[in-house]
Amino acid sequence: MLIVTKQLRRSKGEGINGLQLAAGLIWSGQFSGQVRIQGKALVGREEWAGFSQKHSMFTAIHKHYTLDDWKLFAANHPECLQHVAVSSGSGKNDLEKMSSILEAVPQVKFICLDVANGYSEHFVEFVKLVRAKFPEHTIMVGLVGPSPDGEAEKSFAMGWGAGGSVCTTRTKTGVGYPQLSAVIECADSAHGLKGHIISDGGCTCPGDVAKAFGAGADFVMLGGMFSGHTECAGEVIERNGQKLKLFYGMSSETAMKKHSGGVAEYRASEGKTVEVPYKGDVENTILDILGGLRSTCTYVGAAKLKELSRRATFIRVTQQHNTVFS
């Protein structure tokens, strides 16, 4: 799919520098869109928070961060706390840990409830419990896909999709949904209920981020695109003269061995471990993404990112870009 160019509605003297990409972290149903850094152990870390805060991006700190880790992070980076979320699973111990963190770091007002199947009855009840306990916090939940009865869209911010770069759910289970279609089909109903959409997975380049916003997403979650940078955890590996960094999904065998003692006999790993070419400082990647978004807005005549979904028209293609020098 590609976005179709449209006639510009902007004044002659106003160029790409005047585009508004974010309106601030105010959840009033008027959110203009943000890039969200995924809560993986190698990406969703405090080292990213400074960059996300600088560019009004958002980081979900991974759910294996301890209470002591959070206290240290809050002491060292108090300016970043409005741009981060506490991530949690849906178990009893998870609720206790999350409550301890939010009590110790009250400046954090965002909660990310991260499970594989956001439609389970247990998880729905857990979300209700968290909402009752934290009525003033913004809650992000996922993962889900389009629901026939629209019930899921009544939540606060939903993560849609199952197709991340190190996710193997589609191949292990046969379960999934086309990412662009999921966002397009669910955005209107979610927004009608004053909820928000997080497009989770599928982005490989800045153009994909633009398509997600054009489809109606309020947030776009990125993991793989931010892997391999200096700010990621782990040492740089050199192999055959090439610099690499390790990147793995949180349902991979690597992650489960590290955080859960291994893969349980009754389940399968739904993530993979890869070695990513070393990319240097993440600042360059962030600027490339934001620059691409600004350019997209000029092509369709959107004065700010919030207008992109109203100005975007998609066309189906057999080839998205010229591959002569790929």
CA angle 106, 111, 116 (to 5 degrees): 155
Catalytic annotation, pick one of 169, 232, 254, 285 = 169
Binding positions for GMP are 200-202, 223-224, 249-251, 267-271
Cα–Cα distance for residue pair 50/312, rounded to 1 Å: 31
Banded pLDDT at 27 (limits 50, 70, 90): very low
Binding positions for NADP(+) are 63, 114-116, 250, 266-267, 295-298
Question: Taken in order 16, 319, 212, 59, is the CA torsion positive or negative?
Answer: negative
Cα–Cα distance for residue pair 263/145, rounded to 1 Å: 26
pLDDT, mean of residues 131-138: 92
Question: What is the 3 state secondary structure string of the chain?
Answer: CEECCCCCCCCCCCCHHHCECCCCCCCCCCCCCEEEECCCCCCCCHHHHHHHHHCCCEEEECCCCCHHHHHHHHHHCHHHHHHEEEEECCCHHHHHHHHHHHHHCCCCCEEEEECCCCCCHHHHHHHHHHHHHCCCCEEEEEEECCCCCCHHHHCCEEEECCCCCCECHHHHHCCCCCHHHHHHHHHHHHHHCCCEEEEECCCCCHHHHHHHHHHCCCEEEECHHHCCECCCCCCCEEECCEEEEEEECCCCHHHHHHHHCCCCCCCCCCECEEEEECCECHHHHHHHHHHHHHHHHHHHCCCEHHHHHHHCCEECCCCCCCCCCC
Task: Assess whether 112 carries a catalytic annotation.
Answer: no
Tokens 């739904």, residue located:
270
For residue 43, give both structure tokens.
């990406």
pLDDT at 9 over 70: no
Binding positions are 63, 114-116, 161, 164, 167, 170, 200-202, 223-224, 249-251, 266-271, 295-298
Binding positions for K(+) are 161, 164, 167, 170
Task: Assess whether 167 carries a catalytic annotation.
Answer: yes
Catalytic annotation, pick one of 112, 167, 203, 232 = 167
pLDDT at 106 over 90: yes
Task: Please give the model's pTM, rounded to 2 decimal places.
Answer: 0.84
For the chain, list the domains and their CATH numbers: 2-6+32-227+282-315 (3.20.20.70)
Q: What are phi and psi of 258, to 5 degrees?
A: -75, -40
The residue ranking higher by pLDDT, 14 or 200, is 200
pLDDT, mean of residues 109-114: 90
Strongest mean pLDDT among 32-36, 142-146, 292-296 = 292-296
